[in-house]
Amino acid sequence: MQRGREGSDMKKRWGILLGITGMAMAALLTGCKGTGEAKAPGGAGGETSVETSAAGLSGDKTGDAAAGAAGEGQITFTFAEHVANIEQQAPQVYGVVQEYMKLHPNVTIELTGASADDLTRNIQMAAQSNTLPDLFWIRQPVAVEMAKAGYLADLSEDILNDRELTDTFLPHVLDSLKIDGKLYGIPCELQSNGFWVNKAILDQYGLEMPVTYEDFISCCTVLKENGIIPVAQGGKDVFTAWAWENAHCRYGFYDHIDGIIAGTDKWSNPDYLKFYQKLSDMRDAGVFSENAKNTDYALSVEQFLSGQAAMLNSGVWDTKKFDQSDLAKDIYYWWGPTFEDGVGEQEVSMKAPAHPYVVSARLKEEEPEKYAAVIDFLKFYYGKQGTEIIAKDNQSIPVTRYEGEIDAETYPVFARVITMMNDDWESPAVCPDMYISGQIINQYRESICGVINGIYTPREAVDYLDGIQATIQ
């Protein structure tokens, strides 16, 4: 694999980044961003007289032992999730909740969901009125703000001190919401963006899976000459910057971003300009459809699944859908090309934590029995049984290691994705769109899609971001 000229220093810089992520985000992130869903705050169940200890609960207990683990009294807690229809849109979460209640008949989990924007507004209002759900999903920057303001429970003693549990997490995923060494949330899932590739189309035209940018452009040229869209890109939806954010990491994104946030560097630095120029060059080379700016994400997926496009800019959330398609045996996952003129490590993947689940500080302070039940549920969710429900039963990518069996015949796409998650490519501690301020994230995505769509030149894109950045210093 091709590496950039600064590859030897990457691990050192990456290590520093991983170590300071929580502190840096606490200091620097201020806005609301990202996508996801959950429900407005709900009520809580009745009190129980049974004294329980979170430290003494085991999330992987079964049968009668599990039923009695959280005490003999009835406990009800609220769980606000980040999709509107949880059973259909997050079946892995629904499955874990149902199994936990089956094993713990004295515990009722009131699982509710709504859109991401609605959730964010509701959670922020609920914080002011002291009516937060007991357990809830929230966008990372908002979580940082809420933790600093005292709305979120410190989970360090109950989670970090459980080494049997924490040792199962993938590297660094618990670092994303640590502030001053304290843990305030656990990522709900693994955030992984990349390219889906229909290898049957490549084989049809005698093409190999590309590695370098040069390989990629050559491959795309052949595909375009034969009437195939090289990369399906939902340019109409600016959130589809996903895989290109990965590529930006190969042009020194993390070498400059702290300075940009601090006001000592600019988006219009030479490394970032090279990244945006590559996007422009790809557009000129016909990598995207001529109508990308009018193509939304749903249509780009349709183009890929119908064989009109050989590749798709997306992420692991499409894994189950692709396993259920007629193309399952031919669909592969790819981190994208390396760049000869790139900056730093080129073997960069995206296996970063997504937005977290957090717990109300009020719950911990005022209702210890219910808090203990929530902690027990979290240990179950991220424990062996929960991970198996997430991975084996629902083909979703957990943030903990899954070493169980995978039916590769039935779920070939999922099996390949799991293999990619276990490769030795570096990954940042957080995705670019979770590291920068929420006040500029949409503009950052817009700048990428704007160059792809021919709306901005590379210089116009970075100057646009510098203008926005100047207003939030």
Residues 186 and 229 in one domain: no
Residues 58 and 101 in one domain: yes
pLDDT in tens, 260-276: 999 999 999 999 999 99
pLDDT in tens, 279-297: 999 999 999 999 999 999 9
Domain that holds residue 122: 31-190+355-404
pLDDT in tens, 293-310: 999 999 999 999 999 999
pLDDT in tens, 89-133: 889 999 999 999 999 999 999 999 887 778 888 999 999 999 999
Residues 146 and 203 in one domain: no
- 420, 434 contact by CB (below 8 A): no
Confidence (pLDDT) at 118? 87
16 in any annotated domain: no
Q: What percentage of the chain carries pLDDT values higher than 70?
A: 85
Q: What is the mean pLDDT of the chain?
A: 85
Helices 270-284, 441-452: inter-axial angle, 10-degree rounding: 40
Residues 304 and 158 in one domain: no
4 in any annotated domain: no
17 in any annotated domain: no
Residues 400 and 328 in one domain: no
Mean pLDDT score, 16-43: 31
Residues 253 and 390 in one domain: no
Confidence (pLDDT) at 288? 97
Residues 76 and 201 in one domain: no
Alpha helix segments (H runs only) across 266-348: 270-284, 297-305, 319-323
**Which residue type, as a one-letter code, is found at position 235?**
G
CATH no. for residue 465? 3.40.190.10
6 in any annotated domain: no
Confidence (pLDDT) at 380? 98
Confidence (pLDDT) at 18? 34
> In angstroms, how far is CA 443 from the centroid of its own chain?
19
11 in any annotated domain: no
Confidence (pLDDT) at 429? 82
Q: Which residue has the higher pLDDT, 357 or 472?
A: 357
Per-residue pLDDT band for 188 (boundaries 50, 70, 90) equals very high
Domain count, the chain: 2
Residues 184 and 332 in one domain: no
Confidence (pLDDT) at 403? 80
pLDDT in tens, 312-367: 999 998 998 999 999 999 999 999 999 999 999 999 999 988 889 999 999 999 99
Per-residue pLDDT band for 72 (boundaries 50, 70, 90) equals low
Mean pLDDT score, 423-446: 89
Residues 264 and 370 in one domain: no
Of 300, 340, 296, 304, the residue nearest 322 (C-alpha): 304
180 in any annotated domain: yes
Residues 43 and 137 in one domain: yes
23 in any annotated domain: no
Q: Looking at the predicted structure, is the pLDDT value of residue 59 above 80?
A: no
Q: Which residue has the higher pLDDT, 181 or 68?
A: 181
Confidence (pLDDT) at 36? 34
Confidence (pLDDT) at 219? 98
For the chain, the distance separating the N- and C-terminal CA atoms, rounded to the nearest angstrom, is 39
Per-residue pLDDT band for 473 (boundaries 50, 70, 90) equals low
Confidence (pLDDT) at 37? 33
Residues 330 and 426 in one domain: yes
- 337, 313 contact by CB (below 8 A): no
Residue 123 half-sphere exposure toward CB, CA atoms < 13 A: 36
> In angstroms, how far is CA 195 from the centroid of its own chain?
15
CA distance 454 to 169: 42
305 in any annotated domain: yes
Residue 219 half-sphere exposure toward CB, CA atoms < 13 A: 26
Q: Looking at the predicted structure, is the pLDDT value of residue 376 above 50?
A: yes
Residue 164 CB partners (closer than 8 Å, separation 6+)? none
Q: Looking at the predicted structure, is the pLDDT value of residue 32 above 60?
A: no
CA distance 314 to 159: 32
Residues 157 and 226 in one domain: no
Confidence (pLDDT) at 258? 95
